[in-house]
């Protein structure tokens, strides 16, 4: 069912690469997470104890995996890793290219030894160019270096960072789709290949409309202050009487006159001065002021009734606590319940794909550091004396 029977080996830390492997584990793959003896750095976020079980960050990125801890610089650690890779289908790593080459774990080395292996490289900027060995995170590359942040931050505001993992999870999905394409090809060729995904290239695609405009015309629009936005309504936030915010997207030519009617301004519909689109910012601001005034006299609940009955595309600006408590969040299946590793259960964000006709049950939490080391090495056929040396290093 789905990815059951697929063996995935992950040598990665933080988010983008582990996130891709975590979704594959959700979908039934046997994912083996190989960590250093010090463990993945995100284990240090929300450290676990009997009083505070279940690290939410580490669990999201690593649930359902088996955990192996190896010192791959040692002879026995390297032997263990190569043994685990011998029958693997996919190898996912975000270790920097230079370090992988020094460790003889780069694509050329592993492809020669395991020609059926799909080798997925997840990086900041790819495998070529002057910046390949610079450290990279989603805040520094996906958001800042790529132009995504500059496109989102109005020029009258100080720069701000994206939320943690935002670009990483987009890159995780890009990596997942690329790996699945390579696996499909292998059915015909019998051979693996290199799959390369980066924060920078994913960001360029995620910002697609603006980037396409930039490439075509040499310039692209960026987010502007509210008073400079060229459309009076679409994508604009309006404040209600009870201090809530709502926004719209006009999905067709009938939406503007419909909105003006339900807001009590039918006089704007047939007046050619207020026809949309308008290049006159004074007219745009006048229309927006009428809408501002209309919403300032009604509560969010009152606005919801009017706008929903009119079949307009609108939404309230919600907090995370409102989202996770909503009926729709639950109906959409946005969370799964997994083990917290301490005998209890915890909710965790679900992978975006859903399979109503059947899928593996997502219940396993994240592994403790090195939890499955002996088990996995035995399965891989590693000699007992080598396993004992590995376990002695783990402590």
Q: Which residues carry out catalysis?
A: 168
CA 184 to chain centre: 23
Phi, psi of 313, deg, nearest 5: -85, 100
- Spatial separation of the C-alpha atoms in residues 345 and 364, rounded to whole Å: 10
CA 390, 391, 392, 395 dihedral sign is positive
Q: Tell me the torsion sign for CA atoms 168, 169, 171, 172.
A: positive
Is the Cβ–Cβ distance between 17 and 179 less than 8 Å?
no
**Which of helix, strand or coil describes residue 328?**
helix
**Residues 6 or more apart in contact with residue 63 via CB below 8 angstroms:** 22, 25, 26, 338, 348, 362, 364, 365, 366
H/E stretch holding 337: strand 335-339
What letters, b where the CB count within 10 A reaches 16 and e where it falls short, cover 143-181? bbbbbbbebbeeeeeeeeebebbbbbbbbbbbbbebbbe
Instruction: Compute φ and ψ for 324, nearest 5 degrees.
Output: -70, -15
Beta strands (DSSP E) in 97-193 are: 118-123
User: Any idea which residue has 């990815």 for tokens?
Assistant: 3
CB 9 within 8 A of CB 67: no
- Residue where the block lists tokens 């190569």: 82
Q: Which residues pair with 184 in a beta bridge?
A: none
């Amino acid at each position: 069912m789905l990815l059951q029977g697929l063996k995935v080996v992950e040598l990665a830390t933080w988010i983008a690469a582990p996130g891709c492997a975590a979704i594959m584990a959700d979908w039934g793959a046997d994912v083996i997470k190989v960590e250093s003896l010090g463990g993945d750095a995100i284990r240090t976020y929300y450290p676990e104890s009997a009083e505070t079980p279940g690290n939410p960050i580490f669990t999201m990125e690593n649930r359902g995996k088996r955990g192996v801890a190896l010192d791959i610089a040692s002879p026995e650690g390297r032997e263990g890793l190569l043994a685990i890779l011998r029958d693997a289908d996919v190898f996912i790593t975000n270790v920097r290219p230079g370090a992988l080459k020094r460790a003889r774990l780069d694509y050329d080395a592993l492809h020669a030894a395991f020609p059926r292996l799909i080798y997925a490289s997840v990086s900041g900027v790819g495998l070529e160019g002057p910046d390949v060995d610079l450290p990279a995170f989603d805040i520094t590359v996906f958001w800042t270096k790529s132009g995504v942040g500059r496109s989102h931050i109005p020029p009258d505001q100080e720069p701000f960072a994206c939320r943690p993992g935002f670009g990483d999870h987009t890159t995780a999905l890009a990596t997942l789709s690329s790996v699945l394409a390579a696996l499909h090809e292998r059915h015909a060729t019998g051979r693996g290949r290199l799959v390369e995904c980066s924060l920078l290239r994913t960001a360029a695609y995620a910002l697609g409309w603006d980037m396409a405009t930039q490439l075509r015309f040499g310039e692209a629009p960026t987010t502007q202050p509210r008073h400079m936005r060229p459309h009076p309504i679409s994508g604009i936030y309006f404040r209600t009487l009870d201090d809530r915010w709502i926004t719209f997207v006009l999905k067709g030519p009938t939406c503007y006159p419909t909105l003006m009617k339900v807001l009590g301004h039918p006089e704007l519909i047939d007046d050619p001065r207020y026809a949309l689109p308008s290049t006159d910012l004074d007219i745009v601001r006048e229309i927006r002021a009428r809408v501002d005034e209309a919403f300032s006299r009604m509560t969010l609940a009152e606005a919801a009734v009017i706008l929903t009955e009119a079949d307009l595309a609108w939404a309230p600006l919600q907090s995370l606590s409102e989202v996770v408590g909503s009926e729709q969040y639950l109906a959409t299946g946005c969370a799964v319940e997994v083990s917290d590793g301490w005998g209890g259960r915890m909710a965790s964000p679900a992978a975006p794909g859903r399979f109503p006709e059947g899928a593996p049950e997502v219940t396993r939490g994240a592994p403790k550091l090195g939890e499955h080391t002996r088990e996995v090495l035995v399965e891989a056929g590693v000699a007992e004396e080598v396993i004992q040396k590995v376990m002695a290093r783990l402590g």
